[in-house]
A and B are shown apart, each in its own frame.
Chain A
Amino acid sequence: MFAYVVRRLGATFVVMTVVAFVVFSLLYFTPGDPAAILAGDAATDDDIRRIRAKLGLDEPFFVRFGGWVWALLHGDLGTSIFTNLPVTHLIGQRVEPTLALTLCTLLVSVAIAVPLGVIAAARVGTWLDRAVMAFSVLGFSVPVFVLAYILILTFSIQLDWLPVQGYRPIREGVWQWLRHLILPSIALGTVYIALIARITRASMLDVLAQDYIRTAQAKGLSSNAVLTSHALKNAAVPIMTIIGIGIALLIGGAIVTETVFAIPGIGRLTVDAILRRDYPIIQGVILMFSAIYVIINLVVDLSYMFFDPRIRY
């Protein structure tokens, strides 16, 4: 088991190196000279050359890549071109809303999707099953911002139940904080729920066809006990996998959701950075999200050992 953990960590290291390389190349090949941008309009060619030398922009590709990774390992993601502030500082300012939105969505989605999938599998072929599957395929097809606007138009503008846009920090009151997160979480979570429910159903159907399920039923266990303690635990590995992989949908969707609901999180930071062509921010955000994504999937992979002790690598 120890060997497996070490091997898995090694694979994660390789993947992160590739990610860092890709993200660095993106910035390296950006059009425009950062030195010329920093020097301003009044700079002479000599000034620009001096800045280039000072920033190490004349160094070869791999020397610059090494220096960049070195800085990265010291927690330095570079400096924003537009605001001249460190990227880590800018991201740090925006972490709370994004974290609140994604965590809230993640918890609610899993809490809804897994029971939906289990019920659909237990009642396979009935109208309930069909309804869950119909919801699932619809959830895949409606883009997050279309759903977001439909929700706002219905629940905020027509019914006036929930705030239209904005975000309240949790220290200003839990209720206000939650109220502002309900619609964004539903909009962001729908595709994620659709995905998890679908995989849960498929995985449960596989397990329910096994002999030990028939044994459990034959010895007189209640169907709830069979479903939860026998079937769900054995169906957990594919479900955990899709929860991990689906995080990519949450991250991509969060950028859009924050734009629609005017939530001042990392997604907004990214969109503003795109409009201003502030490459270091874009680079930093992609690197951070990718690292989070990789780490979550590493944790998911390692969690298999808990869910399925038969897995011995």
Chain B
Amino acid sequence: MTTAAIDRLPKSVSPTWQFFSDAFRRHPTAIVGGVVLLLMILIAIFAPWLGTVDPQAVAPVRRLKPPSAEFWFGSDMLGRDVYSRVLYGARVSLAIGIAVALFSTLVGLAIGLVTGFIRWLDAIVMRIMDGLMSIPPVLLAIALMALTRASIENVILAITLAEVPRVVRLVRSLVLTLREQPYVEAAVAAGTTLPRILVRHILPNTMAPLLVQATYVCASAMITEAILSFIGAGTPPNIPSWGNIMAEARSLFQIAGYLILFPGIFLSLTVLSVNLLGDGMRDALDPRLARRM
């Protein structure tokens, strides 16, 4: 190697820094999304130490105070501190978004893997999924919530059920392509058992598209949670979630718009960051798509 060639090598000796600066140059919006999301997660975790008070502490004498030095985001109609409620609300929204993304990906993956390989099951399961997908997801979640008691677990369950069919469709279409690949054929010819083919050859190849899908599910779940809470069919009112805070402000928004504005901005920013992260990952995984989408 000549000295000129050595000079042309990257100056940086720190591989991680190089990795991040490269990633940022190629996908700046995705990195911004990741940073904002990380910030929100940190806010959710460290909510008790960020200058908050008890989000449920009522003080009727100080109700509906506009934003000030004392109440950064103002106070609601029961005199509760909106800043504290919004910060604690991050916990609920993020927990629901991440839980729904995790569960619906796992359930969808399991169903999609099995149906992609077992023909007779495929016909039945896919008709059921088609039927479930014909019910607008928000309506399906509303119906399920109307059946049950309002609780965070039930919200997660209802939104997961509404999201699963789309994940199943994705996994199934991936499996149908993958099973025709020569290396799967080779594995079959070599006498590999079905479970082993699924785990060794199919599963790893579904991971990347699934990860992208999971971020979109997470974003959509957070919006659905807010919608459910907003119309009174979501997270129980005694737990502050962004949707709840806005739901309680419904009749007051003309005199206290900040009650809607602050949780609304937090929710939109979080969903935006997740979407940007998802778009960036999709572009990174499929450069051909990057130009188009």
Contact = CB atoms under 8 A, between A and B. Distances in A.
B264 A146 contact: yes
B257 A149 contact: yes
A26 B279 CA distance: 36
A31 interface: yes
Contacts of A252: 136-139, 227
A137 B272 contact: yes
Contacts of A18: 127-128, 130-132, 134
Most buried by B among A140, A153, A164: A140
A19 interface: yes
Contact of B139 (A29, A251, A260): A251
Given A22-B132, A140-B219, A252-B138, A149 B231 contact: no
Interface stretch (B2-10, B38-46, B77-85, B142-150): B142-150
Given A18-B131, A31-B147, A286 B272 contact: no
B11 interface: no
A153 to B, nearest CB: 5
Interface residues of A, number: 61
A43 interface: no
Contacts of A247: 136
Given A137-B279, A146-B268, A294 B134 contact: yes
B223 interface: yes
Q: What DSSP secondary structure best describes chain A's contact surface?
A: helix
Nearest to A268: B231
Most buried by B among A18, A143, A271, A282: A143
B139 A145 contact: no
Nearest to A247: B136
Interface string A17-32: 1110111001001110
Given A14-B127, A145-B227, A270-B142, A150 B264 contact: yes
Nearest to A124: B291
B136 A290 contact: yes
Nearest to B222: A143
B292 A26 contact: no
Interface string B254-293: 1001001100110110011001100100000000000111
Interface of B: 127-128, 130-132, 134-140, 142-147, 219, 223, 226-227, 230-233, 246, 250, 253-254, 257, 260-261, 264-265, 267-268, 271-272, 275-276, 279, 291-293
Given A141-B219, A143-B264, A289-B135, 14 more contacts: A18-B130, A22-B132, A26-B143, A29-B147, A137-B276, A137-B279, A145-B230, A149-B260, A205-B292, A247-B136, A255-B139, A256-B230, A286-B139, A290-B134
5 contacts: A18-B131, A143-B264, A271-B231, A274-B231, A282-B146
